[in-house]
Chain A
Amino acid sequence: MSDTGYGVTLRGVTQRFGSVVALDDVDLQIRAGTITGLLGRNGSGKTTLSVLLAAFRRPTAGQVLVDGQDPWENERVVPNVCLIREAGDLPADERMSAVLRYVADRRPFFDPDLAGRLMDTFALDPRRRPARLSRGQRSAFGIVVGLASRAPLTVLDEVHLGLDAPSRYAFYDALLDDYLAHPRTILLSSHLVDEIDRLVEDVVVLDRGRVLLAQDAESLRAQGVAVTGPSDLVEAFVAGREVLGRQRLGRTAQLTVRAELSADDVERARREGLELGPVGLQDLFVHLTDPQNRLRLSGERGGDR
């Protein structure tokens, strides 16, 4: 195992459910010791990818490697892979205090002190049972278990569901604090891309079961530029570049392009009175997964893996 968690490799992974292809010949590397954002629209294959990593099922075809080994029935690997969906797949009819003891017995790196602190943070009463909690409270309890388990590969799949904004930000802070103190591999799947933007180091975008993009978040952010100004000048400026989105208001246009601008480009924009602005991860994600962009981007998929 790496000192900073488990790395993940998928080679030609396909997962079918009857006639539905949830993952289609996916090749992917997730670096050990990173927080990777797993993004995708509903039905893109995020949860399917997560359950393969946690050995909930075997892929129809291809190879899943966690820390260099197939996780299926692997007694070394599976205790150190923690998949949390909402309240996690935990005993729902036991008191939360008992559930935490149950997890502590099974997760090698579980930290009961951290669990206790997080229970306080989310105002969870350990005497209550997960089955009787509200959806937000169940999510918060899943977060407690997921973070306190400190698994070398932690997969948090839409754990924010039902959480109010203060609780979500408390989660993000706790995640970052504990990750910095105890680096490990965290795969974070969420539709609230704006909110996790500051957390993720790498980004994987799935689209209809295929990897649309996998790269580090910093370089991805640097590739997104919003160009604003008179329509004709903006169109001329972006000519030959990959345009992800267009917005027009009268004679003014804002085009989102995926490109790394040179110093000459920036100087030209300044000279022509065009505004250049950053594009957030969420805007990039929306544009990248826009059905109209799919065909154009699909040609580049091989290079993005």
Chain B
Amino acid sequence: MSATTRSGRPSPTLLTTRLVLRRAVVYGGWFWLVVVVLVASATGRYGPDGFSFLGYGRQAVSWFLFSQAITLVAASLRVHVGSGMTRRSFVRGALAAHTIIGAAHGVVFVALLQLERLVHQAAGWPFVVHDGLDATGTRLGLLLLDFGGTIVVASLSGLLVGIVYQRVSAWWGTVALPFTVGPLLVVLAVSQAGPLVVHDPTPARLVAVVGSVVGAGVVAALAFALLSLRAPVRLPPV
């Protein structure tokens, strides 16, 4: 060809990761803005009762990222392959981006939880989180393990659900939900079966929580990768 190729192009994996992250920043910004507004208004009215309203948001952020990951697969695989990139780079980019997104939301969640605790302290109110996190919980690493792990696995489970819907019909995708949502359900079950690690940092509890997060995360990621690498791209009708 007489045209010349441009050198120094970033790798498709990096391009994919960046694209997903850029969109996630926008979606995440709106999500946390809504959460902060809701929590602030609830705190302003019911703050003296001492309940952490953000504490109820753990499920919300998990399922928000879960659905966001499903949307990514539904909307992006065809565009990715249609733009001249391989499924391999899609898998790498999606996994990297959604691990980062999950971790980042975990950090934001824990940071806002600390902020809410400080507000309660400053106002002289008690601070009670519905699932047992007390007002003195300041071991941020353990808090992040308690909340961030679940959020990352939620994100990876969403990718798995998305690719299963792509590979099979909507009917079979729905039938398979108990398995594809399984990694997230396992982590939630282990997490809620005992005290938070921040309250019970014993080896047994650490192994249970870390093991469920890592195990479920790896299973979800591997299943997503295996199903994506052979996925045909379905064309919408023109």
B9: chain A residues within 8 A (beta carbon): 105-106, 108
Query: A183, B79: Cβ atoms under 8 Å?
Result: no
A1 vs B79: C-alpha distance when bound (angstroms):
25
A91: chain B residues within 8 A (beta carbon): 79
Query: B15, A105: Cβ atoms under 8 Å?
Result: yes
A47 vs B234: C-alpha distance when bound (angstroms):
12
Q: Which of B32-90 contact A (CB under 8 A)?
A: 78-79, 81-89
A169 vs B232: C-alpha distance when bound (angstroms):
34
Query: A5, B1: Cβ atoms under 8 Å?
Result: yes
B1: shortest Cβ distance to chain A, in Å? 6
A158 vs B9: C-alpha distance when bound (angstroms):
31
> Per a CB cutoff under 8 Å, which of B2, B88, B232 touches A73?
B88
Query: A78, B235: Cβ atoms under 8 Å?
Result: no
> Per a CB cutoff under 8 Å, which of A73, A106, A151, A182 touches B229?
A73
Is residue B238 contacting chain A, with contact meaning CB distance below 8 A? yes
Is residue A41 contacting chain B, with contact meaning CB distance below 8 A? no
Query: A85, B238: Cβ atoms under 8 Å?
Result: yes
A111: chain B residues within 8 A (beta carbon): 3
Chain A interface mostly helix, strand, loop or mixed?
loop
Query: A51, B235: Cβ atoms under 8 Å?
Result: yes
A58 vs B229: C-alpha distance when bound (angstroms):
12
A106: shortest Cβ distance to chain B, in Å? 5
Closest to B86 in A: A73
A201: shortest Cβ distance to chain B, in Å? 17
Candidate in A3, A78, A86 with the most chain B CB atoms within 10 angstroms: A78
Query: A73, B87: Cβ atoms under 8 Å?
Result: yes
Query: B15, A90: Cβ atoms under 8 Å?
Result: no
Query: A75, B86: Cβ atoms under 8 Å?
Result: yes
Is residue B233 contacting chain A, with contact meaning CB distance below 8 A? yes
Closest to A105 in B: B15
Binary interface profile of B, 1-26, with partner A (CB < 8 Å = 1, else 0)? 11111100110100100010000000
Given A105-B9, A158-B238, decide whether A57 and B232 contact each other with a Cβ distance below 8 A.
Answer: yes
Given A78-B86, A105-B15, decide whether A55 and B81 contact each other with a Cβ distance below 8 A.
Answer: yes
> Per a CB cutoff under 8 Å, which of B2, B78, B84 touches A79?
B84
B237: shortest Cβ distance to chain A, in Å? 10
B78: chain A residues within 8 A (beta carbon): 56, 89
Closest to A79 in B: B84
A111 vs B5: C-alpha distance when bound (angstroms):
10
B4: chain A residues within 8 A (beta carbon): 109
Query: B232, A109: Cβ atoms under 8 Å?
Result: no
> Per a CB cutoff under 8 Å, which of B5, B15, B232, B235 touches A58?
B232
Given A90-B79, A161-B238, decide whether A106 and B84 contact each other with a Cβ distance below 8 A.
Answer: yes
Closest to B89 in A: A75
Chain B interface mostly helix, strand, loop or mixed?
loop
A81 vs B81: C-alpha distance when bound (angstroms):
10
A266 vs B158: C-alpha distance when bound (angstroms):
71
Query: B3, A89: Cβ atoms under 8 Å?
Result: no
B235: chain A residues within 8 A (beta carbon): 47, 51, 56, 85, 89
A56 vs B77: C-alpha distance when bound (angstroms):
10
> Per a CB cutoff under 8 Å, which of A3, A85, A102 touches B1?
A3
Query: B82, A54: Cβ atoms under 8 Å?
Result: yes
Is residue A45 contacting chain B, with contact meaning CB distance below 8 A? no
Closest to A77 in B: B84
A182: chain B residues within 8 A (beta carbon): 1-3
> Per a CB cutoff under 8 Å, which of A5, A80, A85 touches B84?
A80
A86: chain B residues within 8 A (beta carbon): 238
A109: chain B residues within 8 A (beta carbon): 1, 3-6
B76: shortest Cβ distance to chain A, in Å? 8
Query: B82, A56: Cβ atoms under 8 Å?
Result: yes
Query: B81, A150: Cβ atoms under 8 Å?
Result: no
Is residue A262 contacting chain B, with contact meaning CB distance below 8 A? no
Candidate in B4, B81, B85, B88 with the most chain A CB atoms within 10 angstroms: B81
What are 20 pairs between A and B in contact, CB < 8 Å? Answer: A1-B1, A3-B2, A51-B233, A56-B233, A57-B232, A73-B88, A78-B86, A85-B235, A86-B238, A89-B78, A89-B83, A91-B79, A105-B10, A106-B85, A108-B6, A109-B3, A109-B5, A158-B238, A181-B2, A182-B1
The 10 closest A-B pairs by CB, nearest first: A89-B82, A57-B232, A108-B5, A79-B84, A56-B233, A109-B3, A106-B83, A73-B86, A182-B3, A86-B238
Q: Could you tell me which B residues sit within 8 Å of A by CB distance?
A: 1-6, 9-10, 12, 15, 19, 78-79, 81-89, 229-230, 232-233, 235, 238
